[in-house]
Amino acid sequence: MPATVIVGAQWGDEGKGKIVDLLAQESDLVCRYQGGPNAGHTVIAHGETFKFRHLPSGILSGKTSVLGAGCVVDPEVLLEEIDGLEQRGISAEPLRISGNAHLIMPWHIAIDGASEKRLGKLQIGTTRRGIGPAYADKAARIGIRVQDLLDPKILRQKIETALAEKNVWLERVYELEPFELDEVAAREEAFARRLRPFVADTSLLVDEALRAGKRVLLEGAQGTLLDLDHGTYPFVTSSNPTAGAATTGIGIGPTRIDEVIGVSKAYVTRVGAGPFPSEMEPMLAGQLRELGQEYGTVTGRNRRPGWLDLVALRYAVRLNGITSLALTKLDVLSSFDELEVCVRYRLPDGSESENFPAHQSDFHHAAPVFETVPGWSQPLDDCATLADLPDAARGYVDLIEQALGVPVELVGTGAAREQVLAR
């Protein structure tokens, strides 16, 4: 398995951190290819809980951990995370950051919050970490990159150029206070001094590792339906979580990828605004939120729970070329007598389809067609392999495999690292 992509198959929060942590034990490098501190990966290892926003989860296993060119980096958040880890006796020394990754600057965060406020009822519900504005500057070719941290003079110049424009926007459009050049430059230079040792040619690093036959894990953040091009636009993030972006986000060719593992919860959750066909009614949603502890890692917001949506998962299999699935949190469904599974959407013209609608107006008005399947009403704690699952739980997994034509290789039955059943 030289290069394996791990991708969220839903709207993020699928439990990728746990699966990456598990597979990282057998990998040599763990790399993130997109996103920034909008991500929140929770890993429970050695009885301790770790929450990562920036760092690839592989850092826990002491593996070389890469933030690729496709990422956006908030130096303050990253340094806080590095400090937090080191206080717990875990070294961040194996971290390598691409010089081509873009920096999230203080004005990106200010603009993210201000533009959400302006949108009012139409707001996207972003994490307000400056993600969209940072990627927008990248596309407009006015971003500041990690490599700009290497030279204090260049860094100051770039900040000065950016502020000349950003301060006008902040004051005139958003009615916010402008930023002071000296203050921002001093703050970023202090971060730069600490981050310089981590900056590396990560594309070369990964290429050399692959040539040497090493195992490389490419870890996506967020999820397929939050993809800027293929997700539920405009309720998406500003990068491409889908597997194809792993190659551009790291700087290797598409022929280097061998496997794509899609991570899906046994149900669905979504944070932030946007249509969600299989969303549960409020009482049931509250129950599931409690059972699954469905609260955002980054923002603490309530996640919106829904029944498993096979139409959306089929779309994820297509978009990512998923070769196997990891199904997480199956144990959370253990207290239901019956479960609903969304097998088709009913579209506004009355037709039904197993395929994800190509156009926003169809998706916004899609109604779920549910199939009711038996629950198992018993804990899964004593299962050691997939074969030990109660019949109804096994049936649930079979239904997914048959509908999607993809094997479910891993099943999560609890929060701890060891609570994953393999085929």
Looking at the Cβ atoms of 38 and 413, the one nearer to ligand IMP is 38
Nearest approach, Cβ of 364 to ligand IMP (angstroms)? 15
Q: Is 12 in the site for ligand IMP (CB under 6 A)?
A: yes
- Please tell me the count of residues contacting ligand IMP according to CB under 6 A: 21
Among 191, 235, 376, 396, binds ligand IMP (CB under 6 A): 235
Q: 200: which strand partners?
A: 98
Among 238, 320, 323, 413, binds ligand IMP (CB under 6 A): 238
∠ Cα 304 231 319 (to 5°)? 115
Site for ligand IMP in 30-49 (CB under 6 A): 38-40
Beta strand 408-412 pairing with 420-422: antiparallel
Nearest approach, Cβ of 14 to ligand IMP (angstroms)? 9
Residue 243 to residues 14, 315, 321, 322, 338, Cα–Cα distance (Å): 15, 13, 8, 8, 33
**Alpha-carbon span 145 to 127, nearest angstrom:** 21
> Binding mask 115-154 vs ligand IMP (x if CB under 6 A, - otherwise)?
---------xxxx-x-xx----------------------
Residues whose CB falls within 8 Å of the CB of residue 146, separated by 6 or more in sequence, listed in order? 73, 97, 98, 99, 100, 101, 102, 103, 195, 199
Among 7, 13, 77, 202, binds ligand IMP (CB under 6 A): 13
Among 17, 68, 262, 272, binds ligand IMP (CB under 6 A): 272
Alpha-carbon Rg for the chain, nearest whole angstrom, is: 22
Rounded to the nearest 10°, the torsion over CA 51, 7, 336, 345 is 140
User: Could you tell me how many residues make up the chain?
Assistant: 423
Q: Residue 362 in contact with residue 347, Cβ under 8 Å? A: yes
Would you name the residues annotated as active-site residues? Answer: 13, 41
Encode burial over 248-263: b for 16+ CB neighbours within 10 A, e otherwise: bbbbbeeebbebbbbb
Looking at the Cβ atoms of 179 and 235, the one nearer to ligand IMP is 235
Q: Is 18 in the site for ligand IMP (CB under 6 A)?
A: no
Q: Is 292 in the site for ligand IMP (CB under 6 A)?
A: no
Looking at the Cβ atoms of 215 and 304, the one nearer to ligand IMP is 304
Residue appearing with tokens 């609903």: 340
> Binding mask 252-271 vs ligand IMP (x if CB under 6 A, - otherwise)?
-------------------x
Looking at the Cβ atoms of 42 and 247, the one nearer to ligand IMP is 42
Q: Is 237 in the site for ligand IMP (CB under 6 A)?
A: yes
**Residue nearest ligand IMP, Cβ-based:** 272
Beta strand 352-353 pairing with 408-412: unpaired
Looking at the Cβ atoms of 360 and 385, the one nearer to ligand IMP is 360
Looking at the Cβ atoms of 125 and 152, the one nearer to ligand IMP is 125
Q: Is 242 in the site for ligand IMP (CB under 6 A)?
A: no
Residue 371: CB atoms within 10 Å: 14
What residues line the site for ligand IMP (CB under 6 A)?
A: 11-13, 38-40, 124-127, 129, 131-132, 221-222, 226, 235, 237-238, 271-272
